[in-house]
Amino acid sequence: MLRSLFGLALATLIALGGAFAPPAAADIDVYSTPGEHTINGRQWRTWCEPYSQTARCRTELVVAGKWTFNNLTYLPSPKSLWVGNPLAEPGEHTIGGRLWYTECETPATGRNGCRSYIWSGDRFVFNNLVRFGVIPSNLEELYVYRPPADPTPPTTPPTSPPITNYSMYKGPNPTSRVTLTFDDCPNSLSAFKTTAAAARDLGISLQLFPTGNCITSGKFDPAYARSMGHYVFNHSVSHPNLTTLSYDAVLRQLSAPGVVTTYGRPPYGAWNDTVKRAYDAKGMRIWLWNIDTNDWRSKTTSQVVSYVVANAKPGNSVLMHMQWNGFNGPALKAMRDGLAAKGIGVCRNQGPTEVKPASLIC
């Protein structure tokens, strides 16, 4: 039934000359050329923003005198970066409670891309393009144009409420949702950004604990993580066992270039009275975990996912590490879906996060 309705909707859109009308000028692609354009008598405007390792462009056109959303276009990037993302997986998907349909490498999409459509109540409506290929070399040039009334969401995140009845093991999560937390350092900045964006697209908010040395090495970008809707907390500067250090040395480990915030996780989960006093002096609470995946023991992605799904209970904090096999889009999707099948949700992505949150907004 949905297939036939989809075909009817697609034919209708083509007949109306709407979202599928190709640009008339060879040097202008209304889906990826920033600026305002008049093509075949219709007014278009497009602007782009960074997305993972490439860019995402938003296109609008004038309908009944008003600028109206037309589609999103994800500029070329390797197909491997889209593994596990429903925008590049053929078939029907339910995302955020809404029904989507994706087709890839068909006559309509061409050999190197996908199109996704969202169910509007009586038909599927074209929403976005994903293009596979080499990442453009001129990305910085695409970010100059912005429309006069820039609809970009505000960058100031919502203020989180104070938390009561704090548990060191559950952390600042006031909900029954599971938190997927990751310590240490990703293998590269590219791997970090790819996973942060994938989690955002999956509707997941991650809780990340990088070391200061990881940040200074250029493998982790706290501002990018927060812009993707993830939380960033302290995990020391150089990952020592804090219980072996003096009080002043612990204070230095809880300072820049480590993350200066409201919660921190001592390396190895090791703490004592001296460590606790230092956290208190820095205005940070210690956050440990309920579930330890032991992913660092060279567990495969499948083993990490299976352990999380089998053992996590509502409200648990799950410990993983950014350099091991749970930190990737397909693994996160499998954890989310496996827990959902048991009636357990994960912390939802609610947009940009605070530098010093009082609690999580899940």
Instruction: Report how far residue 91's alpha carbon sits from residue 231's, in angstroms, rounded to the nearest whole number.
Output: 32
**100-109, 250-259, 262-271, 331-340: range with lowest mean pLDDT:** 100-109
pLDDT of residue 236: 97
Q: Is the pLDDT of residue 152 over 70?
A: no
Q: Is the pLDDT of residue 22 over 70?
A: no
pLDDT of residue 14: 35
The candidate with the shortest Cα–Cα distance to 76, out of 32, 132, 115, is: 132
pLDDT of residue 240: 97
Helix H segments across the chain? 2-16, 189-201, 212-216, 222-227, 247-253, 273-281, 301-311, 329-341
**For 338, which DSSP code?**
H
Distance between the two ends of the chain, CA-based, in angstroms?
Answer: 36
Q: Is the pLDDT of residue 54 over 90?
A: no
Q: Is the pLDDT of residue 3 over 70?
A: no
Q: Is the pLDDT of residue 55 over 70?
A: yes
**158-172, 199-213, 272-286: range with lowest mean pLDDT:** 158-172
* 3 contacts: CB under 8 Å, gap ≥ 6: none
Q: Is the pLDDT of residue 350 over 50?
A: yes
Q: Is the pLDDT of residue 8 over 80?
A: no
Could you tell me which residue, 164 or 268, shows the higher pLDDT? 268
The residue-averaged pLDDT of 204-215 equals 97
pLDDT of residue 106: 86
**132-146, 185-199, 204-218: range with lowest mean pLDDT:** 132-146
Contact by Cβ (8 Å): 48, 142: yes
Q: Looking up tokens 């937390």, which residue turns up?
A: 181
Instruction: Tell me the pLDDT of the chain averaged across its residues.
Output: 87
Q: Is the pLDDT of residue 17 over 80?
A: no
The CATH superfamily of 179-342 is Glycoside hydrolase/deacetylase (3.20.20.370)
Torsion angle defined by CA atoms of residues 297, 301, 304 and 309, in that order, rounded to the nearest 10 degrees:
180
Torsion angle defined by CA atoms of residues 13, 149, 98 and 173, in that order, rounded to the nearest 10 degrees:
170
Confidence of residue 277 (pLDDT cuts 50, 70, 90): very high
Contact by Cβ (8 Å): 293, 310: no
Planar angle of CA 37, 41, 45, nearest 5 degrees: 25
Instruction: Report how far residue 242's alpha carbon sits from residue 274's, in angstroms, rounded to the nearest whole number.
Output: 9
Domain ranges of the chain: 35-142, 179-342
pLDDT of residue 184: 97
Confidence of residue 210 (pLDDT cuts 50, 70, 90): very high
**Tens-digit pLDDT profile for residues 99-149:** 888 999 888 878 888 999 998 888 888 899 999 999 888 877 777 777 776
Could you tell me which residue, 234 or 100, shows the higher pLDDT? 234
Assessment of whether the complete model's pTM goes beyond 0.95: no
Confidence of residue 156 (pLDDT cuts 50, 70, 90): low
**19-33, 148-162, 177-191: range with lowest mean pLDDT:** 19-33
